[in-house]
Every structure is written in structure tokens, then in C-alpha cells.
Structure 1
Amino acid sequence: MAEVTPPWLDVKMLELWLRKPVQQCVKKDAFNKGDNHMGDLHRILVKTKDEDISLIVKCRTEEGPTAEIQNESNMFRKEQELYKTTLPKMDQLLRNALSSEFQSLAPKCYYSCKCFLVLEDLSVMGYKMDDRQKGLDLEKCLSLIQTLARFHASSIKLHELEPKSMQEFSKHVFSETNSEKKWNNWFKAMMKLFIDELESWPEEQWSYYLKKIRKLEPNLLRRVEETIRTYDSDFNVLIHGDLWVNNILYRGDTCRLVDFQFVKFTSFAIDLHLFLTSSVKMEVRLQHTDNLIQEYHRTLCKTMTALRCERKLPTLQELYEEYHRKAMYGVFGVICAAPLMVSGPSCGFDFREALTTGKMPGAYGDYSRQIIKWGLPLLDQMGVFEN
């Protein structure tokens, strides 16, 4: 039986999307195992009379546990809606408000449908993904924090102008009834790995945290879901939801965001907790966490003012209080997210296999252990283990 050519390799379809004659197109896969957990990515090179164009095609996973989760939680539809409608509006609001300071938030989307997205390939413009095992330095962290604050601020303004614009993003995949069992199995597997790891540490101080983690174990998913739930709050923004190194592309002192399947309208603090636990060099965590939160506050307020948002600007103290209230997402980051995000490609970790079998080779290396030793005492100070 002849292999069916996917529509994103069809010359006529490409001509329709690019609005120019296409002479040739070639598929070229160039992504490492572990670089993208919830989709299939392809790079296609398109030759026209005047130029060669490189595109990224992101396809919905068609089989396996991640496909089931995508279908049950409408993850891909949310990302499609974001690229097709929401992001262009947010970009336009920022372009009008910031003028010469404007920088696009994400790659341009040429086409979107229920099965795939066709995006501009930012790599040809010099954008690169950093090494997830090393973490980001202070300069790159500040660049991301500023971009994130503008992303959040523009969503506030869009919600004020169009209150229904955030309805599509009201639920998170963890709280979707149909997929909750799969996530619960994964949470349990990660918690068991975490407890086994902590039990192997000889230092007496970690037995203190081990008792608290065991107490949390039966309720971790419920506590995380409660943390990320949307409440009536002045801190609600459209969060990226999966903010880690592989979803941030850098060129010099600028960056853009990719991969929006976990977007949700909820507290800004969710993005900050996941980013700080998964993607930052240890010296930055130890010395500059407060600087990053303060820069987020400064850029958020500056951008909200430029956008003429009606919402009251948060004080720095109010922002810190909200960050502490959402500290359970930091626990999720330390236990479930960061160990997988910083695992090396050589360890053979595959998120899709992990959802099915619970096997997560290489989940704990030196870097993830450093994150645990930094994160548990800090989160304990925030009182997250007391409930």
C-alpha cells in the first residue's frame, strides 16, 4: 500500500499557505528524543523561485497515551486557537502600545487545523534552544522574565477588551475528568521515584522532608489541581503553562515562546514556579530569585500601564504573597517536572512511555539533586507542607 503524503508536504497546500509558487519541499526531522513531549515535530524545507523557506510542522500525536490525553483534554485545539486567534491579538496590542520596543511573543503561524500547525522556523533567524541540563544564566533569565511579563500583561488587556477570549483556556489538562486517571498514575510514579531517591540520601536533615513528602503523597494531584484552578482574582493571566528551557528560543538578548498546549487563564505564579524550578542555573536560583521576581513585577506594571489596563497594578508585596500562595506548584516542579526536564537525551527518557509504564530512566542526576536541595527548604519556608 502506497504511503499517503501528509497535507503539509503537498505543494499546492504550501502555495496556499505561503501565497507564492512552490517548486519543491523536503521533510527533514531534526529534533532529539526528549526535546518535545506532547507532539510530533517536523522541519520542512520549501524552495520557491525567490527564496528557500524553512517551516516547522507540529502534528497532533495520533496514538498512545499522549494522543488520548490530547484528545480528551482538547490540548491541541487550545494551542490551535492560541496561534490562530489569541496570540495575533496579543501581539497587536503590544505593537500598538510599545512601538519601537515591541518584540513578537512567538513564531508566526501560517496555518492551523485540528491535526497540525505550520509555523515559521525561528532557527533560520538565529533563534536557538539552550541546553536543558545546564540551565539559563542571569541575562537569559531576565530576557525571559520580561517577555513573560509582556505575555501576561497583553492577556490581561485582551481579557478586558474581550471577556470571552479566555473561555477556551479555562480548564487545565490535570483537571480534565477523562485524562485525570492517566495523570494520577504518572504523579504516583514520580512520587515513588522521588521518595526512593530521598531515602537513599544519608544526611539526617532529609528525613525531615521525607516525612512531609509521604504525608503529601496521596493528595499531590488534588493539591496541584487546586493550585492551578482559576479563582476570581486580580492575578489571573493567560499562563504559558509549560515554561521551561525547551519552550524558550533565544537570539542574543531576545527570546520567543513556543509550545502552548498547557495554556490556562489562572495565576501568573504558576509560570514563575515552574520556570524557576526547572530552567535556571543554580547560582541564579541562589543569588537572584528575588531580582527575577522584582523584574517581573517592574515589567508587568510598565506594560500594563502602556496598554492602559483597567486592572489595578499589583504591589510587589501583593505579588510575593500570591507567589507564596501558589507554592504547591513549586513542589510539582521539584518532584515531577524538573527531574524529567533536566534529564539528558542519552538516558533514554520518553514521556509517552513514562505515562504508560511509569519507567523514567535518568530522572535523578546531579543537577536534579541540586534542585531538590535548593527547593525543599525554600518551599517548606513558604508553609506548603503544613496543610
Structure 2
Amino acid sequence: MSSNNDAYNSDELEAPDWLNKQFLQEVLMQYSKDPSLKLTDVQISPASAKGDHYASVMFRTSVEYLTQKGKFSKSLIIKTMPEMEGNKKEFLGDSPIFQTEIAMYTEVLPKFEAILREAGEETTFCTRCVYHSLEPRQVMIFEDLVPQGYEVIRNRNLTLDELRCALRKLAKWHAVSQKLLQEQPNIFDRLKYDITTLPNFFEQDFVTKALPTFIDMIGQVESLKDYRKYFEPMRQNIIKRWADIIREYRENRQENSYYVLCHGDFHVRNLMYKLDDCMLIDFQMSYVGSMVNDLLYAKYMLFAAEERLNNSDELISHYFDTFLATLSKIGYKGEKHSLVELRRQMFDRRFSDYMLLTLLLPLSYSMRQNKDPGDILQSEELRVNIYYNKDYQKELEYLLPRMLQLGYFELPE
């Protein structure tokens, strides 16, 4: 196992006792359906760099094994819930995120891929799940994408081609899910948990103090202080209005809205790239909602500043063209969609813009500097400091006037 190293999450520096040779041999025997399989070597290390993820604990396991057919090796990713006492375990311990992700990997995404294959579209959304369990512990095991040539992009922004690739995958996912929702409205009823349903989510300081910290910051910046008056009225209701948007499909369904199965956490660290292809990872927050939710999330957590400022419209159009083409290819029989209507629905849900702008965009800037979101979420000093990032403030000098010009601050009743 790797020695203590600041490059990795502290709870991934040592594997739990149950993650051992015997457990892994049983997993591989079950997966290969070969009772003769014998594990000969196991090497365990942290699965990813510090800050790549928060809502789980992950290890990479390289194994060598013998069967009647010969000697083989395989690299696996083990994903489990936090066992180390602390904020992460307290925050995530009672959440249903593993039930959601198991359903996504084992049922939902394979079904999506099969529908696309039947239509002549060879699309793979994710890696293969080798093993999963909820008892006696929550754990999932996947085939490792790294030996297949895929990588998480950490030290630079995504190119326009890489962004288009990600949005094409998302558009195909959304299209298939909308067809299934039309034909079988209850098909995703189990996927009813999103980020707002995490235990005590709305009591977390990083959520409740985001807007007040943002308001304090822009009040101290000469070029931004005039916009404070637009955010002050949001103090009492921004969190509730945002939660209402996320939960809309379940609690307040709107006629003619474009509902799909949302990824729920569509950001740069939840993609792995290989040349002109990408794979999606981490489906713990997937739920049914407006397609707008994934698009706005991508705008703030996937796009870099230049794309938000100069290429956002083109990227959304690229996504929507793929969405429409996929609907046609798979035989969707529902009402027609239009880009104008999508834009209207995005505007109507602008409380998501306010929340993402004030809560997640400063965090996105820190992640692009390879800072650990876990450290930031647990430290008030670090949380405050990310709002004073000069690049973040510089972008606000463009975004806030644009929002004003587009009528974003004419708040709905």
C-alpha cells in the first residue's frame, strides 16, 4: 500500500482489513464463473489524486491470477463508503448514493447502451461493473479505465473538442432517458435521490454560508459592489428555490418541460478521456429532472471561464443538435423540441444559476488548481478564501453585467 502522501486522500492511504486477497479472489471467481481461479498477487494503492472525488473512498487494485487457461492480470477500481470517523462519514454515512450508483451501472446504463445499439449507435457510457454489494458493506468494483488508455484531465482546461465530446455523450444519455420516460413514466422511480437529499445537506456551512460570503466579497470589490443589491433579496430563499428546481419532477412537475435522467454531478473530474472518446463516471447523484439542471451544472463545473464567456451558446447548441438527432434515431414519438424552448426553460430556472455561481463556481476554480474540495468544505477559512480568487472575481466582472442585461435579476415572485 502507498505510504502517506499529500497527493492522496488520507482515508485512501491504507486499505480496510476486509479488502484482502481472499475477498478479491472470491470476487474474481464469481465474475469469471471459474472456481479454479487462484489469486497469486495483490497490490493496492489509492485510485486517484487528492480532490478527484469526495463522496466515496476508492482504491486501485492490481491482481495476478491463475486459471486453467493460464496466467492473467487485471487492474480494478474498488469504491466503498468512508469508514474513517470524520466529516465525510458523518455527511455520507446514511445516504442512498450506493443504491443509486449500483442501479445505474448494472441496470440503467446497460439498457441505454442496448437501445442505442439497436438503433445502430455504438455508444459506451461507462466502464463495466465487476462486483457490487450493499451488505455487509457498501462496495462496488469496476474494470480500471486507465490501462485502457483513459485518463482524468487535471492540469489543464478541456479543449472545445473535449467539451463537445462530453456533451454528445450527455445528449445521447438524455435522449434515451426521455424516450423511456415517455414510454414507461415510472421506470426511474427508484432514482429519487439527488444532492439535495443528502442527510443534513442544508445544514452544512458550505451551503448555508455560500451566498452571505459571496455578498460580503462583492461588497468589497469596487467593480462588483453595485451588484450586491441584486443578491441581497436572495438570502432568505435561494437554497429553497434551487432545491425546488432540482426536485421539480418529483414534487412539482411542469407541463412541456424537458425531463430526463440527469447525471447530477457532471463536472470535469467525472469524465475520463481517450483520444476522441470519453467515459462518464460517478453516478451517485443521478435522478430524474429537467435537462437544464445538467446543462447549467456543466456550464459552471465543466466549462472553463473562456467557454462560459465565449462558447457557451455554441456548446449548448451542439448538445441540443445531438439530442434531437438521437431522439430521431431511436424512434422517439413524443412532442417536438426546440432550442428556443430550451433557452426559455434555462431562463426560468435561473435560481440554479445564482446557486451555482455563488456556491460551486468558486469551488470549481479551486479544483482546477488541484485543491482538495474536502479540505475546503471542512475549513471556514479556506471556504472564504476561494471567493477572493482573482480569476473568479475577474470572471464575475463579465458574468454579472451579462446576467443583468439578459434580465436575470428581474426576480420571479
TM over 0.5: yes
Q: 1:51 aligns with which of 69, 72, 79?
A: 72
What SS does structure 2 have at the residue aligned with 1:170? coil
CA distance in 2, matches of 1:347, 1:362: 15
Distance in 1 separating the partners of 2:410 and 2:42: 54
2:367 and 2:373 in contact (8 A); partners too? no
* Match in the other structure for 2:8: none
Report if the CA contact (8 A) 2:177-2:260 is conserved: yes
1:352 deviates by 6.6
Contact conserved, 1:227 with 1:326, CA < 8 A, in 2?
yes
Instruction: State the match for 1:4 in structure 2.
Output: 17
Deviates most, 154-163 or 239-248: 154-163
Unaligned 5+ segments in structure 2 are 1-15
Query: How far apart, in 1, do the equivalents of 2:372 and 2:190 lie?
Result: 32
- 1:267 paired residue number: 290
Segment drifting more, 159-168 vs 324-333: 159-168
Given that 2:132 and 2:140 are in contact with CA atoms closer than 8 Å, whether structure 1 keeps it comes out as yes
CA 1:181/1:294 → structure 2, altered by over 3 Å: closer, same or farther?
closer
Shift of 1:120: 1.6
Q: Does 1:187 align with 2:227?
A: no
Give 1:38 deviation, angstroms.
0.9
Which residue does 1:225 correspond to in 2? 243
1: CA distance, partners of 2:144 / 2:168:
22
The counterpart of 2:335, out of the listed 276, 287, 312, is 312
> Pick from 7, 10, 15: which aligns with 2:29?
15
Using a 3 Å threshold, how does the CA distance of structure 1 residues 239 and 345 change in structure 2: closer, same or farther?
A: closer
Instruction: Specify which of 126, 132, 140 is matched with residue 112 of structure 1.
Output: 132
Q: Which has the higher contact order (CA 8 A, sep 6+)?
A: 1
- Tell me, in whole angstroms, the C-alpha distance in 2 between the residues paired with 1:356 and 1:286: 30
Contact 1:324/1:382 (8 A) holds in 2: no
Alignment pair present for 1:34 and 2:51: yes
CA RMSD of aligned residues (A): 2.5
1:158 corresponds to: 180
Equivalent residue, structure 2, for 1:173: 195
Structure 1 residues without counterparts, runs of 5 or longer: none
Kindly report which structure 2 residues correspond to 1:75-90, keeping only aligned pairs within 5 A, or say none: 75-90=97-112
**Aligned 8 A contact 2:214 2:358 in 1:** yes
2:200 counterpart SS class: helix
> Between the two proteins, what is the percent identity of the paired residues?
23
**Residue of 207, 210, 226 corresponding to 2:225:** 207
Contact 2:81–2:93 (Cα < 8 Å) also in 1: no
Deviations 1:329-383 (A, max 9, x none): 2222221112112315878544276258675275243443344334333444242
Contact kept? 1:175, 1:225, Cα under 8 Å:
no
For 2:352, what is the secondary structure of its paired residue? helix
Deviation digits for residues 136-155 of structure 1 (CA, Å, limit 9, x no counterpart):
22111111111100011111
Contact 2:218–2:228 at 8 Å: present in 1 too?
A: yes
What are the Cα deviations for residues 115-143 of structure 1, in whole angstroms up to 9, with x where unaligned? 11111211111111112x74322111111
What SS does the corresponding residue of 2:300 show, helix, strand or coil?
helix
Aligned with residue 95 of structure 1, among 117, 121, 130:
117
Could you tell me the TM-score, scaled by structure 1's length? 0.89
Tell me by how many angstroms 1:30 deviates.
4.1
**C-alpha contact 2:195 2:264 (8 A) present in aligned 1:** no
Larger Rg: 2
Q: Distance in 2 between matches of 1:378 and 1:169?
A: 36
Q: When the two structures are aligned, how many residues end up with a matched partner?
A: 378
TM-score (structure 2 length as normaliser): 0.83
Structure 2 counterpart of 1:295? 318
